[in-house]
Amino acid sequence: MAESDGRPLPTTTPPHVLIFPFPAQGHITSMLNLAELLCLSNLRVTFLNSDYNHRRLLQFTSVKSRFAVYPELFYMLGIADGLPTDHPRCGEQILDLFESMRSVTKPLFKDLLLSIRPPLDCVISDGGLDFPLDVAGEVGIPVVHFRTIGASCFWTYFCIPDLIEAGELPVRGGEEEMDRLITKVPGAEGFLRCRDLPSLCRGRDLSHPYLQGMVSATRLSSKAYALILNTFPDLEGPILTQINSHCHKMYPIGPIHEHLRTKLKNLKPTQESSSSSSSSLWEEDRTCLGWLNGQPPKSVLYVNFGSITVMKPDDIIEIWHGLINSKQRFLWVMRQGSVVAELGSNSNSNTSTFPEELVKGYPGEEHMVVSGWVPQKEVLDHGAVGGFLTHSGWNSTLETIVAGVPMICLPYFADQQVNSRFTSEVWKLGLDMKDACERKVVEKVVTELMVERREELGSRAARMAELARRSVGLDGSSGRNLEALIEDIRSMRRS
């Protein structure tokens, strides 16, 4: 192979891969990073987004110029997600996408697979969606599943039929019952409780289509050509071993954002990674970085609940008072539309932002509130940040691990309940305050994280950050797995 700009030049027509994420921020971010990693290895990638997110990505990011350096290797397409434009696509309502995509997107997806040129050699589809495996199978294209959740939650979903068979589900209700230990998730015995199961398991109705859909999509991964996971063995090794006994070809290549950052840095050592690699579906407000510059090292608790969480005003008030009472500096970022307008209201009307009266009542230099969206990775990497109060989304968890920042976990739904338990009990990188959103609890855990256990949690977080960075080096497990995945995809090229 010839070399130019550090990157090998292709000597033959590259294999053509379609990457198809579930239409939500965390899924798009990690799968777009994978797309860039594949382009860096001279694979041709078509990135298929929902029309809705395709427009937002073009509007709020420099995705076009980011990928312009891969001429003839990167293409973007949109496809209908089946929901009206004014659907909120957040909170529990994000689940509506599963139904609408099955009825509207699925037939369009089949047409696309048949008509796209050059023909596809491989589809990498979000393993949370069940239909791409069937559809691509019908037209003879191998499908690799990519799960954007952690291995621990993937494995928990995988085990749910065993939990039901053993009578460990449904959860019968009541606080004591929520603390009952689960025994049928191998590798998680002794610490995984009912309250730590994915939030869909909290309902009594185990035939609920969303729970059933998630379990069957997860089980389907063992039938896919291979499974890609955004994780690394130093973090989730024992669970990966469990999954491997069902999904024989498995590529843990995470943390993907750090993997990409490392590769780009090796190619262009002088270039700072910045918002140019953003995949935000909201406009980024960078003013908080200036405010952080004026704060002492590791003094600020960063608070952000991600792209889907919808919060009750009461919870916001409890968190606010807990933060104020802890007397710690904080930067709280609230996405527009992330507060239920009124309790009990239809969340189509989630238009409210942070309650202004709270901020006005507590003027001060020691906190900043942003009603919007910030460049999170840059915030976490900022030296003034000493902790993160997070909803425990998987991307946020990995970004925080790489930044070496300890966490307070307040999970909202889906995989977050599992992630927060592993963060606190297994990796011991933070404190889990799930189901206890009260000001006294907030004050206590913030003081514990930022003051009392600062050294202990900080040094453990620094150690895990080092392991994460090592994993994505050329000799690291994720580095080697990515190379093996790329070779595998090359071998799929149709003659």
Residue 24 makes contact with ligand UDP by CB under 6 A: yes
- What stretches of 436-476 show up as alpha helix (H) in DSSP? 439-447, 454-471
C-beta of residue 231 within 8 angstroms of C-beta of residue 151:
yes
Rule CB under 6 A: choose which of 304, 326, 417, 478 binds ligand UDP: 304
Active site residues per annotation: 27, 126
Residue 352 makes contact with ligand UDP by CB under 6 A: no
Rule CB under 6 A: choose which of 396, 400, 471, 477 binds ligand UDP: 396
Rule CB under 6 A: choose which of 42, 125, 350, 395 binds ligand UDP: 395
Closest distance of CB 24 from ligand UDP, Å: 6
Q: How far is CA 242 from the centre of its chain?
A: 22
Residue 277: which residues within 8 A CB-CB, separation 6 or more?
Answer: 36, 66, 260, 261, 264
The two tokens of residue 240 are: 């990966």
Dihedral sign for Cα 17, 18, 21, 25, please. Answer: positive
Closest distance of CB 269 from ligand UDP, Å: 24
Closest distance of CB 399 from ligand UDP, Å: 5
User: Under DSSP, is residue 387 helix (H, G, I), strand (E, B) or coil?
Assistant: strand
C-beta of residue 317 within 8 angstroms of C-beta of residue 355:
yes
Q: Residue with CB nearest ligand UDP?
A: 393
Cβ proximity to ligand UDP: between 15 and 91 the closer is 91
How many alpha carbons fall within 13 Å on the CB side of residue 104? Answer: 14
Closest distance of CB 274 from ligand UDP, Å: 13
Give the C-alpha separation, 472 to 401, whole Å.
13
Residue identified by tokens 């900080």 is 458
Q: Is residue 351 packed enough to be buried (19+ CB in 10 Å), middle (13-18) or exposed (0-12)?
A: exposed
Residue type present at position 105: T
Beta bridge pairs of residue 78: 49
Range in contact with ligand UDP (rule: CB under 6 A) among 301-309, 457-465, 475-483, 484-492? 301-309
Rule CB under 6 A: choose which of 333, 369, 405, 442 binds ligand UDP: 333
Residue 97 makes contact with ligand UDP by CB under 6 A: no
Rule CB under 6 A: choose which of 82, 393, 406, 411 binds ligand UDP: 393
Cβ proximity to ligand UDP: between 218 and 304 the closer is 304
Residue 374 makes contact with ligand UDP by CB under 6 A: yes
Site string for ligand UDP, 222-261 (x = CB under 6 A): ----------------------------------------
Residue 373 makes contact with ligand UDP by CB under 6 A: yes
Size of the site for ligand UDP (CB under 6 A): 20
Closest distance of CB 162 from ligand UDP, Å: 26
C-beta of residue 196 within 8 angstroms of C-beta of residue 223:
no
Give the C-alpha separation, 236 to 245, whole Å.
15
C-beta of residue 142 within 8 angstroms of C-beta of residue 136:
yes
Where does this chain bind ligand UDP (CB under 6 A)?
A: 24-26, 29, 280, 304, 306-308, 333, 373-377, 393-396, 399
